[in-house]
Amino acid sequence: MKFSSSEELKPEEVEYFKNKLEEMQRQIYDESGETVEQMKKRNKEFPDPGDRAHLESESITTLRIRDRERKLLKKIQEALQRLEEGEYNVCEECEELIRKERLDARPVTTLCFNCKEKEEQMEKTQHS
Ligand SMILES: [Zn+2]
């Protein structure tokens, strides 16, 4: 994808990121061996949260992957939402526009490069 030099997202670029995010979403479902339909069906078959918890605790590894996938899925859905609202490339922190190349590399990011750097610095300080 050759991005336009303007900071704003062009309609075809919105479309490009939408496809990219939807593709990521599909991949997660593929890897988990489940289609969206199956997931819906399973939730219907086990309406009791207790039953579902039992089912999911069968394998800790599966559970861990699922947790990570779930988090990523949530991020993808939020990104799609922001895309629809025209806020996809707006940094949550400083409201500067996030570079398209950065979004291309990390489609679910909500921070511009500078804010992400700052966040990582803060995390390092907190953990040491
Ligand atoms: Zn920022």
Residue 117 Cα to ligand 1 middle (Å): 9
3-class SS of residue 61: helix
Residue 113 CB partners (closer than 8 Å, separation 6+): 98, 99, 102
Confidence of residue 60 (pLDDT cuts 50, 70, 90): low
pLDDT digits (tens, 9 = 90+) for 5-52: 888 899 999 999 999 999 999 998 887 766 556 656 655 665 555 655
Q: Which residues contact 42 (CB under 8 A, 6 or more apart)?
A: 34
- Phi and psi, residue 114, nearest 5°: -60, -45
pLDDT at 28: 87
Residue with more model confidence, 16 or 53:
16
Q: How far apart are CA 62 and CA 50, in angstroms?
A: 17
What separation in Å is there between the alpha carbon of 40 and the centre of ligand 1?
37
pLDDT at 121 exceeding the cut of 70: yes
Q: 80-97: per-residue pLDDT in tens?
A: 999 999 999 999 999 999
Task: Give distance in angstroms: CA of 102 to centre of ligand 1.
Answer: 12
Percent with pLDDT over 70 in the chain = 73
Distance (Å) from CA 52 to ligand 1 centroid: 40
How remote is the CA of residue 11 from the centroid of ligand 1, in Å? 23
